[in-house]
């Protein structure tokens, strides 16, 4: 091969390599679909770095974050945003390019390139997350949908603002009014009234008011791993002597941790030093051979349903948490002790005993109960 030919070949190879995307940017482009969700790619040329931004929750600055701009929209790192919002337990699968995060009440999952995310056992429409510089980024609109917040960029001071709980919702691509109502555990009628709507038509980017708290209430889930027949059957109000004894043993174990500090979104590994409501119930029941899922939403689908009038010691009782969630979801769990009392953990006092039948707050936010002891 002549020197001229070698030089020409070198130039051709150099040009070919120049056209190949860098490995870091290849991660930003999803190539396969999972869970039935459409996968989209975003051209790497549309990424723009911007100045570090503070994140304020209800007007109070909490932390700082490094956003980027994609097609004129602000994107934020998913793990950083999750931590700021109290989702302390965050994991990432490099194989599936999926983030899983829990705040103790609900577990959310987002996957690179997917146009939907999982919030509990529900699906919400989002802009496809992207992976760049070793992190997964989601748009502010997607963060709103996944975390039940209203999140936006405030140009006046260059900050990310979070309204928690959300009182408004920005329609995402693919949304229908029915899906939005379902995600907020309310009705189409309530959505239409709250927004003076004459039809069910919605368009991406449209702002909708979330119906008032009393019109959002999650009904008892009908999904669990045990047979459907058992799931739909009402629990017997009478406990066997052995089951009653186990319930009392569980309660006695729980009482040992009276006053142990509460930590929102605590990791399971932190128990029993610090616990949130669901890691507390999970830990205490585990000491007696009963395995419960991690978050309160998952725990609310275990066992059999029981009427409030037939509660017995050892039953799990579930509540809304309107100060944090505007979608009426399960946000708190406690262990029923009998005589209207429950053993649980709350921010101010840690593990404590509360008479829920004499408290307007707990009575107003009570959802339902489940029996997991047999």
Q: Which residues are catalytic?
A: 277, 332, 344
The kind and range of the H/E element at 278 are: helix 277-286
Q: What is the DSSP letter of 191?
A: H
Q: Give dist(CA 17, CA 80) in Å, integer.
A: 34
User: Three-state secondary structure along 345-364?
Assistant: EECCCEEEEEEHHHCHHHHH
Residue 148: count other Cβ atoms within 10 Å of its Cβ.
24
If phi > 0 it is left, if psi is from -120 to 50 it is alpha, else beta; for residue 23 that is alpha
Q: Is the distance from CB of 159 to CB of 55 less than 8 angstroms?
A: yes
Q: Give dist(CA 88, CA 266) in Å, integer.
A: 6
Burial of 178-201, coded b for 16+ CB within 10 Å and e otherwise, reads ebbbbbbbbeeebbbebbeeeeee
- 3-class state of residue 44 by DSSP: helix
- 3-class state of residue 125 by DSSP: strand
Residue 41: count other Cβ atoms within 10 Å of its Cβ.
12
Q: Is the distance from CB of 107 to CB of 120 less than 8 angstroms?
A: yes
Q: Is the distance from CB of 373 to CB of 243 less than 8 angstroms?
A: yes
Q: Is the distance from CB of 305 to CB of 368 less than 8 angstroms?
A: yes
Q: Give dist(CA 350, CA 280) in Å, integer.
A: 10
């Amino acid at each position: 091969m002549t020197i001229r030919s070698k030089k020409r070949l070198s130039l051709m190879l150099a040009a070919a390599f120049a056209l190949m995307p860098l490995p870091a940017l290849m991660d930003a482009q999803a190539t396969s679909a999972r869970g039935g969700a459409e996968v989209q790619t975003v051209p790497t040329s549309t990424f723009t770095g911007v100045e570090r931004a503070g994140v304020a929750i209800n007007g109070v600055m909490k932390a700082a974050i490094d956003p980027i701009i994609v097609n004129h929209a602000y994107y934020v790192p998913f793990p950083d945003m999750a931590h700021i919002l109290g989702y302390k337990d965050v994991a990432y699968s490099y194989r599936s390019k999926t983030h899983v995060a829990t705040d103790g009440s609900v577990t959310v999952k987002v996957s690179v390139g997917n146009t939907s995310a999982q919030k509990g056992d529900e699906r919400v429409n989002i802009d496809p997350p992207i992976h760049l510089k070793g992190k997964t980024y989601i748009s502010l609109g997607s963060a709103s949908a996944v975390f039940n917040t209203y999140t936006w960029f405030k140009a006046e001071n260059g900050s990310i603002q979070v309204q928690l709980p959300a009182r408004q919702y920005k329609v995402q691509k693919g949304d229908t009014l029915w899906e939005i109502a379902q995600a907020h555990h309310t009705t189409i009628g309530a959505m239409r009234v709250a927004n003076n709507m004459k039809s069910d038509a919605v368009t991406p980017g449209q702002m909708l008011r979330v119906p008032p708290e009393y019109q959002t209430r999650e009904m008892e889930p009908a999904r669990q791993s045990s047979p459907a027949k058992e799931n739909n059957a009402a629990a017997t109000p009478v406990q066997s002597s052995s089951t009653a004894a186990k319930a009392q043993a569980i309660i006695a174990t729980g009482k040992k941790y009276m006053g142990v500090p509460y930590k929102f979104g605590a990791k399971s590994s932190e128990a029993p030093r610090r616990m949130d409501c669901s890691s507390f119930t999970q830990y205490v029941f585990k000491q007696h051979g009963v395995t419960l899922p991690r978050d309160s939403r998952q725990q609310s689908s275990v066992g059999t349903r029981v009427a409030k009038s037939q509660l017995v010691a050892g039953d799990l009782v579930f509540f809304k948490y309107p100060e944090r969630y505007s979608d009426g979801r399960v946000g708190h769990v406690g262990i029923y002790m009998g005589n209207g009392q429950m053993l649980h953990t709350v921010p101010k006092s840690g593990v404590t005993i509360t008479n829920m039948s004499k408290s307007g707050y707990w009575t107003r936010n009570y959802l339902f109960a489940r029996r997991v002891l047999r």
